[in-house]
Amino acid sequence: MRDLSRIFKAYDVRGVVPSEFDTDIARQTGAAFVRLTGADRIVTAHDMRESSVPLAAAFAQGATEQGADVILAGLGSTDLLYFAAGSLDIPGAMFTASHNPAKYNGIKLCRAGAAPIGQETGLAEIREMVERGVPAGPGRRGAITERDLLADYVRHLRTLVDLSAIRPLAVAVDAGNGMGGLTVPATFDGLPVKVIPLYFELDGSFPNHEANPIEPANLRDLQAAVRASGADIGLAFDGDADRCFVVDERGEIVSPSVITALVADRELAREPGGTIIHNVIVSQGVPELVTERGGVPVRTRVGHSFIKAEMARTGAIFGGEHSGHFYFRDFWRADSGMLAALHVLAALGGQDRPLSELLDGYARYSASGEINSEVADATAEMLAVEKRYAPNATAVDHLDGLTVTFADSSWFNLRPSNTEPLLRLNVEGPDDATMSRLRDEILAQVRSGKEA
């Protein structure tokens, strides 16, 4: 029995093609996916990577061998696949490695209604079937049909955000040679928006920069374009366009926590008293604002499966993560970078102030961003940090790693990576000096491996 633990991750399948992930694994994963879901019909979409088409074809072959019909949506973003699985109410598979380098590819899987599949919700069973060999199908072979869903996807997004009265805007967009190059022109068509495009050519070799906007270096071209063009806003999407990052009119990067607060404010205005989900590393300004607006903030672990589960449990109307993932109840609780972008454009275009002024009230604290440190023993390091800081804390919790809060509104979260020997640190404080001091103290301790 082969071991596929290296490529079956917490939330998806991902690996180097073809040495780790090949068409045979894709075919068997398609077969196992149908057996897990019991579906007689599924839908697939794929990104612009060279390996995506053959992998998607192999997956479809495996699915049809189990008797399921397969709808091929073709090129699309991950949130287009979620739209397909939601609107058609059938399971779906997206072929992408998101922001990973060109040599990688993978599969994001969901059940009907875009319900997530992760290790605890079916992915472990799929892996076990593929490792052991998927049993033969029932004999009837499913059919494969092609269906272009881009126009339907755009129409649905435009029903969720009212853009009818926005003022003309100049918008610089960095698609990173990813799927935003397909979905942005279609979604923005007909809006009073002048698009200043960067890297809209679909190219899975990523010739300009990694399609990973959480890394500041990958936003430099967008920042320069905003400043040079005088754009009102800059938008950056990752490779599969399920995440969106924002740059203001000064070319300054906007924290995803600030965007979470802005969208939460808009959703609560539409549905007063609603529940908003945020993960443990989102700024405390988010739950503060939600409470002020009469909403109910609910805190959860980092990761889309946890966010979506809490949204289902609580009936939340919106959820946000500091990684640039934004989740919407009316989009089957799925994440959509494009839908978040439309909310920001609606907010900006619905009033006359520049974006930086509009967002002033949402940026309340100074944050470090996520900082990774390689460690030999993550558990030991976390225990040592807790021992040092817990005596002077107002609160300590272990919902996701270690979170320590202090009386001056400072807090930090230290949590281990699921896949690498890393500790991830996020620090927030009432001002830059306080945040920086706490950040540097913790990093010095973690990276020395000694208790300070």
Tokens of 143: 């059919």
Residues pairing with 299 in the sheet: 278
CA of residue 118 relative to chain centroid, distance? 14
Element at 335 (helix H, strand E): strand 334-335
Beta carbons within 8 Å of 1's beta carbon, 6+ residues apart: 131, 132
Q: Which residues pair with 146 in a beta bridge?
A: 72
Asked if residues 173 and 180 have their Cβ atoms less than 8 Å apart, the reply is: yes
Calculate the alpha carbon distances from 283 to 206, 219, 256, 261, 390 in Å.
31, 21, 9, 9, 20
Beta-carbon count within 10 A of 230 CB: 10
- Active-site annotation holds for 98: yes
Which of the 8 DSSP states describes residue 329?
Answer: G
Tokens of 222: 């967008």
The structure tokens listed for 377 are 């023993």
The four Cα atoms 424, 428, 431, 435 give a dihedral, to 10 degrees, of: -40
Residue 220: burial class (beta carbons within 10 Å; 0-12, 13-18, 19+): middle
H or E, element range at 85: helix 78-87
Phi and psi at 355, nearest 5°, equal -60, -40
Where do runs of H (alpha helix) occur along 133-213?
150-160, 180-188
Of 98, 257, 305, 368, the active-site residue reads 98
Residue at token pair 């633990």:
5
- What's the rounded Cα separation, in Å, for the pair 219 and 202? 18
The DSSP secondary structure of 363-429, one letter per residue, reads --SEE---EEEE-S-HHHHHHHHHHHHGGG-SEEE-SSSEEEE-TTS-EEEEEE-SSSSEEEEEEEE
Closest among 308, 359, 351 to 333, alpha carbons compared: 308
Return all residues near 99 (Cβ < 8 A) that are at least 6 apart.
210, 211, 212, 213, 214, 238, 239, 243
Which residue, among 222, 1, 14, 231, has the nearest Cα to 105 in the 3D structure? 14
Question: Which sequence positions are flagged as catalytic?
Answer: 98
